[in-house]
DNA sequence: GGTTGACCTGAAACGCGTTTCATACTTTAC
DNA sequence: GTAAAGTATGAAACGCGTTTCAGGTCAACC
């Protein structure tokens, strides 16, 4: 394999000049540039990227940690990140953690070792304090509110979403409202529960802990939810479902069970995935791909910013009959 | 940042000895080992992984190219690959290509530059000849039959699957059978079409080109398929759908349209995703996670092997009423 | 007693591109 | 006409860990 030294010899210039040509530095005479390019062509030269990384201390790679890449929520974030990464000539190193802390630590470790320039954490298990330990080693960006912390973030206000969705259901006559989430721990879950409690307090509604269902991630979990509702003597009349996939599963299950929607059960999904449109599910639109793009941009930007993106309720037929 | 030289000074040994300690080489006296470990502890030493990569000429990273990571088929392959990678302490570099050749070339380029040790190509657009150019630079493994080529592969025989599925439908009385695939180009599509033609020839059935529908990837594409069927004056009575997602979308759509399944339309899905079980869809089980694992193992193995995995028809209620 | 082999260690070479610094020649600018 | 600014180039330092090679010690074996 020819290296930069060989090239220099072939083109009868110094390695510095070869490096300048390779990096499009302006201060190279046309004559020498041509000579170097000729040497590159004839030798079939291939830059050793690892030497570049060592030398520059940068790798043009950013890590992305997601618990599962097969869930539409994360898949869409990933799509946005990947799209932006492509434009900026960055590569992505994927960490599928399954919410295991050890995997998150590995990702942080890579940041420390300079194998990645930045790390985007889409969802985490580890403590804030753990993350903060790694702040000196590279940019970290998260997908939840991180004001006051030394990391950038792009997030939607889950508290606000929940409050407004609950309010909407209340306006539609619902007083027994449940909700389905992916997992009980995590910032999002906390904010949602806070919103849920505050809402109940405001309207003096009775609080049913069993109305909160977790481990709802995929379409097929809709069946699980319906089984749980079936076991309640006072099932909720409306559900907030933090994934359109699950919402669609619930709707499908209701059709099988002859439960009318929205008559007997109202549903609000999340994310406005295509499946929600197809199945006429009222949903909260969250611009996941946009969030992904922004996460990436923050990952390569030196400034620390905390961006909040807006959401939007899309009224379809799963809460009240559509009014066209 | 302390480096290995500093450590050597601190521990009063040579850098070679420090390197030996770091790499668990046996020939180091207990005394020096302790001394080095002590230096590591007090200095908070962090290995510069890029130097390791340069020095070793290996990165312990493998590239994975998928067209979309948000499609369950690829998400499951990815899951298998990621799981195995974790066990073997490899990192994954993800290339979401959207079937753009330029992205595939970038991945191959990384192989050439030694930024990744191997490349797993789950689905491709580029020619075989392009791939073969890169064979000298690292291991390449693909997810389609590659016998006779210098790359490993793990695949299922799509021809065989299609023949057996068509046969099954024929045994169940169907003579007008259509199928839905992701894209028309690609090895899989060719093999499927060949099977389809051979099947028609065997039973002397008339061949309707419009029975072949492509661009079917997601749940919501089920609606598209039903619209297409609706426009035919002789719609097929059975469909082979190469994704359970799409199959589920079709089933859902049929419920809306009051088309009975399997009475008016029989469906065979692919992959045996959970959604197929939930919606009682007869499907071809393909062990995607296992395939992913095997792909990874081939990616780190020097031998070139061509593995074929088996599939299995899972009879549920979307072709004939279940016989329990 | 001598040979063999296992064990231990450090100097030096190796992998390779980037960047700084010093130098020198041209152009502008006033 | 001369100082300042811009252009061009190469030597050398820098980033840093791995691995080979040569040299040495010590125990075991014949």
Read off the tokens for B72.
């369950």
Q: Radius of gyration (Cα) for chain A, nearest Å?
A: 26
The Cα A164–Cα A319 span in angstroms is 14
Q: Name the residue of chain A whose CA is nearest to B102's CA.
A: A86
pLDDT of residue B256: 87
pLDDT > 80? residue A323: no
Q: What is the pLDDT of residues A81-117, one digit of tens each?
A: 999 999 999 999 999 999 999 999 999 999 988 899 9
**A79 and B96: CB-CB below 8 Å?**
yes
Band of pLDDT at residue A322, cut at 50, 70 and 90 = low
User: In this structure, is the CB of residue B9 within 7 Å of any atom belonging to strand D?
Assistant: no
Are A120 and A155 in contact by the 8 Å Cβ rule? The answer is no
Please report residues of A whose CB lies closer than 8 A to that of B76: 70
Please report residues of B whose CB lies closer than 8 A to that of A103: 86
Average pLDDT, chain B: 94
Please report residues of B whose CB lies closer than 8 A to that of A110: 49, 91
Q: Which residue has the tokens 């930024």?
A: B115
Please report residues of B whose CB lies closer than 8 A to that of A100: none
Average pLDDT for B30-51: 94
pTM of the model: 0.90
**Nucleotides on strand D with an atom closer than 7 A to protein CB?**
7-20
Please report residues of A whose CB lies closer than 8 A to that of B87: none
Å between B134 CA and nearest CA of chain A: 13
β-pairing verdict for B91-96 and B139-142 = unpaired
pLDDT > 80? residue A18: yes
Average pLDDT, chain A: 94
User: In this structure, is the CB of residue B15 within 7 Å of any atom belonging to strand D?
Assistant: yes
pLDDT > 90? residue B137: no
Distances (CA, A) of A169 to A28, A258, A262, A271: 68, 22, 11, 17
**Which of residues 52 to 81 on A have a Cβ less than 7 angstroms from any strand D atom?**
54-55, 57
Which of B59, B61, B69 is closest, CB to CB, to A78? B69
3-state secondary structure A171-235: HCCCCCEEEECCCCCCHHHHHHHHHHHHHHHHCCCCCCHHHEECCCCCCCHHHHHHHHHHHCCCC
Q: Please, what is the Cα angle at A18 between A14 and A20, to 5 degrees?
A: 115
The number of C-beta contacts closer than 8 angstroms across A and B is 127
Cβ within 8 Å of residue B279, ≥6 positions away: A252, B247, B248, B251, B252, B318
Please report residues of A whose CB lies closer than 8 A to that of B86: 103
Which of A47, A114, A253 is closest, CB to CB, to B49? A114
- Is the CB of residue B3 less than 8 Å away from at least one CB of chain A? no
The Cα B225–Cα B219 span in angstroms is 11
Q: Which nucleotide is nearest to A56 (CA to C1')?
A: C18
**CA nearest B9: which of B18, B19, B21, B22?**
B18
Å between A208 CA and nearest CA of chain B: 28
Q: What is the pLDDT of residues A127-138, one digit of tens each?
A: 999 999 999 889
pLDDT > 60? residue B1: yes
Number of H helices, E strands in chain B: 13, 12
Read off the tokens for B221.
């594409």
β-pairing verdict for B312-314 and B283-285 = antiparallel
Residue window 199-238, chain A: list those with CB within 8 Å of chain B: 218-220, 222-223
Please report which helix (H) or strand (E) contains residue B66, including its range: strand B61-66
Å between B76 CA and nearest CA of chain A: 7
Distances (CA, A) of A144 to A189, A297, B7, B129, B309: 11, 16, 40, 46, 42
Read off the tokens for A214.
């977790």
Are B213 and B180 in contact by the 8 Å Cβ rule? The answer is yes
Å between B73 CA and nearest CA of chain A: 9
pLDDT > 80? residue B323: no
**A94 and B96: CB-CB below 8 Å?**
no
Distances (CA, A) of B23 to A54, A212, A291: 20, 50, 41
Average pLDDT for A64-73: 91
Residue window 81-140, chain B: list those with CB within 8 Å of chain A: 82, 86, 91-94, 96, 103, 110, 112-115
pLDDT of residue A1: 83
């Amino acid at each position: 394999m020819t290296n930069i030294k060989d090239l220099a010899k072939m083109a009868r210039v110094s390695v510095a000049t070869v490096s300048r040509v390779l990096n499009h530095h302006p201060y190279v005479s046309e004559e020498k540039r041509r000579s170097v390019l000729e040497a590159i062509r004839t030798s079939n030269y291939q830059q050793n990227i690892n030497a570049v990384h060592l030398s520059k201390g940068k790798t043009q790679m950013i890590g992305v940690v997601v618990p599962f890449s097969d869930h539409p929520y994360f898949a869409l974030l990933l799509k946005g990140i990947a799209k932006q990464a492509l434009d900026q000539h960055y590569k992505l190193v994927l960490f599928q953690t399954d919410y295991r802390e050890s995997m998150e630590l590995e990702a942080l470790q890579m940041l420390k070792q300079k194998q990645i320039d930045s790390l985007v954490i889409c969802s985490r298990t580890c403590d804030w304090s753990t993350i903060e330990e790694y702040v000196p080693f590279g940019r970290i960006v998260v997908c939840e509110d991180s004001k006051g912390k030394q990391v950038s973030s792009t997030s939607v206000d889950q508290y606000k979403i929940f409050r407004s969705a609950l309010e909407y259901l209340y306006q539609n006559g619902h007083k027994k409202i449940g909700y389905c989430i992916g997992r009980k721990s995590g910032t999002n879950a906390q904010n949602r529960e806070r919103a849920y409690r505050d809402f109940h307090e405001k309207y003096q509604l009775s609080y049913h802990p069993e109305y909160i269902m977790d481990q709802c991630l995929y379409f097929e979990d809709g069946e699980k939810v319906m089984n749980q509702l079936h076991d309640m003597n006072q099932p909720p009349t409306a559900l907030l479902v933090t994934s359109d996939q699950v919402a669609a599963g619930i709707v499908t299950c209701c059709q099988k069970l002859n439960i009318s929607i929205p008559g007997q059960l109202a549903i609000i999904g999340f994310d406005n995935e295509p499946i929600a449109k197809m199945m006429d599910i009222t949903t909260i639109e969250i611009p996941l791909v946009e969030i992904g793009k922004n996460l990436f941009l923050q990952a390569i930007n030196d400034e620390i910013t905390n961006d909040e993106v807006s959401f939007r309720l899309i009224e379809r037929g799963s809460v009240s009959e559509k009014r066209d």
